Amino acid sequence: MLRVLAWIDRALGALLKPVVFAGMVGLSLVITLQIVSRVAFTSVPWTEEVARFLLIWTTFLGATLAFQQGRHIAVSILRDRLPPLPRRIVALAGTLVILAFLIMLAIIGTRYMNVQSFQRSPSLRLSMFWVYAVMPVSAVLMAVLAVIDVVRILAGKELRDAPGELAE
């Protein structure tokens, strides 16, 4: 079972890396177009909106990728100095708190997404449902990763050998 969970973890990372990269490239291109169009000719009206939406999606998916790679900021000096069993208990408690937060974020994000679904963006006329959908999507993906961490802790395994990699 741990091998399957490690595979799911790696698969999510492999899926998120190119998506976040494409979002950053797209964001760079749209902002460049926005700057060039303002200087050289009439401003392209949709660039500001697309840049904002790409930034929102890239931020949330980038946070999910950072979570998968174990790169979120953490103050672990106390936990790391504990003996193995208390260290696992503290890690489990912390992961369960994170999981509770992510579940709440998914619920609240879904509600917010549905409330805003009637609204359309000014330039593109895109339903704001799609803009806010990234909130519950990212929360659910991070919750899956947190559940994998909980199972690993309960199985007595370390969370991650190196950022982004789970030992099998």
Q: Residue 167 CB: number of other CB atoms within 10 A?
A: 12
pTM (2 d.p.): 0.89
Residue 18 belongs to a domain: yes
Residue 167 belongs to a domain: no
**How many degrees, rounded to 5, is the angle at CA 112 between CA 69 and CA 65?**
10
- Which residue range is the domain that position 47 belongs to? 2-154
Residue 24 belongs to a domain: yes
Residue 56 belongs to a domain: yes
Residue 164 belongs to a domain: no
Q: Determine what percent of the chain is predicted with pLDDT higher than 70.
A: 94
pLDDT confidence of residue 71: 86
Residue 10 belongs to a domain: yes
> Which two structure tokens, joined as six digits, stand for 83?
């003996």
- One digit per residue, the tens of pLDDT, for the chain of length 168 reads 889 999 999 999 999 999 999 999 999 999 999 999 989 888 888 999 999 999 999 999 999 999 999 888 888 888 889 898 999 999 999 999 999 999 999 999 999 999 998 999 999 999 999 999 999 999 999 999 999 999 999 998 876 544 545 545
- Structurally, how many domains does the chain consist of? 1
Round to whole Å and give the CA distance between 53 and 135. Answer: 12
Residue 27 belongs to a domain: yes
Residue 62 belongs to a domain: yes
